[in-house]
Structure 1
Amino acid sequence: MEARTEKITVADGTFDLHLWLPESGRGPAVLLVQEIFGVGPYIRKVAEDLAALGYVVGAPDLFWRLRPNWVADHDEAGVTASLELSSRFDVPQGVADAAVALAYLGGLPEAHGGSAAVGFCLGGSIAYLLAATVEVDAVVSFYGSAVPDATGMLEKITCPLLLVFGGSDPYIPRERVAGVEAAAARWPNVETHVAEEAGHAFLNEAPRFHHPEAARVAWERAVEFLGRHVPAVPRT
């Protein structure tokens, strides 16, 4: 699998877009939006999995203004440091960077057949807000903590949207997820999936977060959703 890093320049600097290509060499563009732990081993594994399905995957370094190419472990020190860093992160600016990265990714010669965004945790919030900001063919948001307070944005989202939550998430209480479900039910383009037994970041393979069965089911749902709305180029 080919991987490389592209440089994206905006008004106040330059940041990295980490890129993975499918075996076919081309496919729909998928913007993969990081957790607070950065574009680390888990996000890179997800990128490889998506590329293996036939997508051109780009993961932007959204913390570049604070700590370029930040990657943290999933231990107590890594969680503490990542939470501190994310507390200083400018979310609207992050959404703007993600929009630029999506446009750049979609303009690559390897990108063909539409575009999507997939985000986890912080990235789930960014992907959701991005869906209300730019034209994109599909968005998958995993446990975005900003979503419950921003259900009013759903009226601005016209693309197919899949919202995934853990039903036992201590950071996003179940009653708040229920509020998202109720709001989403009004919009035919929005689907929800709640893994009742899972907590926050349950797809992340770090032992402190991972719920293997819930992760398997949710990932299958996400892949099926992407396949319906942004089908990948078959392998040649």
Structure 2
Amino acid sequence: MSERVHVPTESGEMPAQLWLPAAGTGPGIVLCQEIFGLSPYVVQRAEDLAALGYVVLAPEFFWRLGVSTVSEQDGGLERGIALANQLDWPLTVRDGVAAVQWLRERDEVTGPVGLLGFCFGGGLAFNVAAKEPVSALVSYYGSALPMLLELAPRVTAPSLHHFGTADSFIDQESVAKVRAAVTASPATVFHEYEGADHAFDNPDLPWHHPDASVLAWDRTVAFLQEHLPVGS
């Protein structure tokens, strides 16, 4: 079960959901939502991370627009994109920084703090990591990454990136540019998944690729255990 919490920001309190592991304490992860907000899929991944032993904070980054979740059905993608386009991106990044700082100060967080994001959240997490030091970054098909490559030298945390080779939203030329920029850091791991589309990890979308999803999650778990070890 999650707890509804509020993260102080420069312009008010941002709603968020907080999950604790069975032990009650552990390393922290700020989970950055996909374009659909805190969708059932994002909630499931938060629960998965908590089951691994992490304290997980999932901010509602559409909070200034009065939205927590966007239905994935019946034009939901278009609504999610429209909401994302209404955001003040620098302000949203500062919200992400505030979330990392807030989580780091929680008594339940007894280890380092990392970032993990999907789609919209993958790019956002990358940008936050360029502003606020973290111990690990995992980005799934970060949709904003092609526009953020000048920030790559400022992302000093070990990072893991996942992209599909059949991404309908990020062309392969852009993926190649992302790969070249982020792997300039020796602490970066970059994986591409043959035949996988955008959002391949989300089982509630038509682009779900079961094999890529399982493999990417296994790699994510191993990466987190290396850089955000539980019980150390």
Instruction: Give the TM-score band, short-chain normalised.
Output: over 0.9
Deviations 1:70-108 (A, max 9, x none): x12222321121111111112211110011011111111
Alignment of 1:175-186 (within 5 A): 175-186=173-184
Q: 5+ unaligned residues in a row in structure 2: which ranges?
A: none
The residue aligned with 2:191 is 193
Q: 5+ unaligned residues in a row in structure 1: which ranges?
A: none
Deviations 1:172-200 (A, max 9, x none): 01121112222233210111111121111
Alignment of 1:79-90 (within 5 A): 79-90=77-88
Q: In structure 1, what is the Cα distance between the partners aligned to 2:214 and 2:103?
A: 28
1:149 to 143, 147, 172: 147
**Partner SS, residue 65 of structure 2:** coil
RMSD between aligned residues? 1.3
Q: In structure 1, what is the Cα distance between the partners aligned to 2:165 and 2:203?
A: 18
Q: Which amino acid aligns with 2:146?
A: P
The residue aligned with 1:19 is 18
The residue aligned with 2:67 is 68
Deviations 1:27-70 (A, max 9, x none): 0000000011111211100000000000000000110111232x
Q: Which amino acid aligns with 1:75?
A: Q
The residue aligned with 2:230 is 232
Q: In structure 1, what is the Cα distance between the partners aligned to 2:108 and 2:50?
A: 12
The residue aligned with 2:49 is 50
| Misfit runs of 4+, over 6 Å | none
Deviations 1:108-164 (A, max 9, x none): 111111000000011001001111111100000111122123222111111101111
The residue aligned with 1:35 is 34
Contact 1:55–1:233 (8 Å) recurs in 2? no
After TM superposition, the score normalised by the length of structure 2 is 0.96
The residue aligned with 1:98 is 96
Matching of residue 4 in structure 1 with residue 11 in structure 2: no
Contact 2:118–2:140 (8 Å) recurs in 1? yes
Contact 2:8–2:98 (8 Å) recurs in 1? no
The residue aligned with 1:215 is 213
After TM superposition, the score normalised by the length of structure 1 is 0.94
Shift of 1:5: 1.1
Q: In structure 2, what is the Cα distance between the partners aligned to 1:218 and 1:72?
A: 25
The residue aligned with 1:137 is 135
Contact 2:28–2:103 (8 Å) recurs in 1? yes
Residue identity (%)? 40
When structure 1 is superposed on structure 2, of 95-104 and 75-84 the one drifting more is 75-84
Contact 1:24–1:233 (8 Å) recurs in 2? no
Q: In structure 2, what is the Cα distance between the partners aligned to 1:73 and 1:56?
A: 26
